[in-house]
Chains A and B, each alone.
Chain A
Amino acid sequence: MNFHHCNHIFIVTLLFFTLFKSEKSYGQNNNPLDKIISINTTEKTVPEILKQLQSKVKVSFNYKSSIFRNEKIPSFNAENEKLSEILIKLLSPYNVEFKYFGGNSIILKQVKKKSNTNYTISGYIIDKSSGEKLIGASVYCRLNKKGTFTNDFGFFTITLPGDSILLEVKYIGFSNYIEKSHNKSNSFKIIKLEPNTNLKEIDITDEKQSKYEQKPNSFSYNNKAIKEIPSFLGEPDVLRSVQILPGVQSSGESSGGLNVRGGSTDQNLILIDGVPVYNIVHVFGLFSIINPCAVNSIELIKGGFSSKHNGRLSSILDVKLKDGNYYKLSGNINLGLFLSSITLEGPIIKNKSSFIIAFRRTYFDAFYQPFQYFSNRKSLNNYSGWYYFYDFNAKANYKIGSRDKITVNFFKGVDRGKITEKQTFADSIENLEKREQNKQLLWNTNMSSIRWDRILTDKIFMTNAIGITQYKTKFEDEITWETKQQPFKNISSVLYKQTSGNADYFFNSVLEINLNNKHNIIGGIDLIYHKFNTGTLDYLSKFNEQNYDTSIGDRNIYSLETNAFVEDNIKINKRINLKLGCSFNLINVKNKNYINVQPRTSANIAFSKKLFFNTTYSRMQQNLQILPNNSIGLPIDIWIPVTDVLKPQISDQITASFFYTINNKYRFSVETYYKKMYNLVELKEGKYFVFGGYDWDKSFYIGNGTARGAEILIEKQSGKIKGWFGYALSKSDRNFKDINGGKTFPFKYDRRHQVTAYIKFPSIKNKWFVSLSWIFTSGNPVTIPTSVYTIGNKNYYEFTERNNVRMSSYHRMDVSLCKSKIYKSRKRTINIGAYNIYSHLNPVFITTNYFLVSNQTNLKFYEVGLMPLIPYINYEISF
Chain B
Amino acid sequence: MKFHFSIIIIAAIVLSSCIKELEISNSGYKGKIVLWSILNIDSSIKATIAVNKGVKPSDTLSGIIANILLYKEENLIKKLNSVNISSIPQTFDFNINALPNSTYKIEIVSPEFNILANTQTYIKTKEPTIELSKGESAQLKYSIEDNLNNFDAYRFDLKIYNYGILYDSLFDKVIDSNYLYIKKFDKFDEPSLNYNLITSYQNGQQNYTFPVNDVLFNGKLKTFIFFIANSVSSNIFIPSGKTKNDNIIRNILVCNKRFAVINCIKISEDYYKFFSTENKNNAIFGTSYYNPINLFSNVQGGLGLMASQYHRTDTIWVIK
Contact = CB atoms under 8 A, between A and B. Distances in A.
Interface of A: 251-252, 254-255, 257, 265, 368, 371-372, 374-375, 378-381, 383, 385, 423-429, 431, 433, 479, 481, 483, 485, 488, 490, 492, 494, 496, 537, 539, 541, 543-544, 546, 548, 550, 552, 629-631, 633, 635, 685-688, 690-691, 693-694, 748, 782-794, 796-802, 804-805, 807-808, 841, 843-848, 853, 856-866, 868
Interface string B192-207: 1011101001110000
Contacts of B296: 685-686
A383 B6 contact: yes
B19 A629 contact: no
Nearest to A856: B57
B129 interface: no
B109 to A, nearest CB: 20
Given A544-B137, A782-B285, A782-B286, A861 B22 contact: yes
B288 A254 contact: yes
A693 B278 CA distance: 19
A685 B277 contact: yes
Given A782-B286, A787-B54, 18 more contacts: A425-B247, A427-B169, A433-B237, A537-B194, A537-B195, A543-B137, A685-B296, A686-B293, A690-B195, A785-B55, A791-B48, A792-B202, A793-B202, A794-B201, A798-B52, A799-B294, A807-B22, A862-B22
Nearest to B273: A686
B276 interface: yes
A420 to B, nearest CB: 12
Nearest to A384: B6
A379 B245 contact: yes
B303 interface: yes
Contacts of B57: 853, 856-858
Contact of B30 (A385, A426, A552, A787): A787
Contacts of A423: 248
B115 interface: no
Given A543-B137, A864-B17, A688 B285 contact: no
Contacts of A428: 169-170
B285 A784 contact: yes
Nearest to B293: A685
B46 interface: no
Interface in B40-81: 48, 50-57, 59-60
Interface string B270-297: 0001001110110111111111111110
B133 to A, nearest CB: 10
Interface string B20-53: 1110100111101010100000000000101111
Given A380-B247, A787-B54, A858-B57, A796 B21 contact: no
B46 to A, nearest CB: 13
Given A789-B53, A791-B34, A798-B52, A688 B287 contact: no
A798 B294 contact: yes
Interface string B240-260: 000001111110000000000
A808 B20 contact: yes
B294 A375 contact: no
Contacts of A424: 247
B191 A548 contact: yes
B286 A375 contact: no
Contacts of A805: 22, 24
Contact of B22 (A635, A691, A846, A868): A846
Nearest to A807: B286
B277 A686 contact: yes
A863 B247 contact: no
B198 to A, nearest CB: 7
Contact of B19 (A368, A685, A862): A862
Contact of A800 (B3, B28, B137, B247): B28
B94 interface: no
B283 A848 contact: yes
B13 interface: yes
A847 B286 CA distance: 9
A841 B17 contact: yes
B235 interface: yes
A786 B196 contact: no
B29 A786 contact: yes
B229 to A, nearest CB: 6
Interface residues of B, number: 89
Contact of B294 (A483, A631, A685, A843): A685
B137 A492 contact: yes
B304 A791 contact: yes
A381 B247 contact: yes
Contacts of B36: 791-792
A371 B5 contact: yes
B4 interface: yes
Given A427-B249, A492-B229, A635-B289, A550 B294 contact: no
B192 A784 contact: no
Nearest to B15: A868
A863 B20 contact: yes
Contacts of B290: 629-631, 633
A690 B2 CA distance: 42
B249 to A, nearest CB: 7
A88 to B, nearest CB: 55
Interface in B147-164: none
A846 B24 CA distance: 12
Contacts of A496: 191, 194
B11 interface: no
A866 B17 contact: yes
A128 B19 CA distance: 55
Given A375-B2, A425-B250, A546-B137, A796 B281 contact: yes
A372 B295 CA distance: 42
Contact of B229 (A265, A490, A793, A843): A490
B233 A488 contact: yes
A252 B280 CA distance: 21
Contacts of B292: 783, 785, 797, 799
A467 to B, nearest CB: 30
Given A543-B229, A866-B17, A688 B196 contact: yes
Contacts of A789: 32, 34, 50-53, 303-304
Nearest to A797: B281
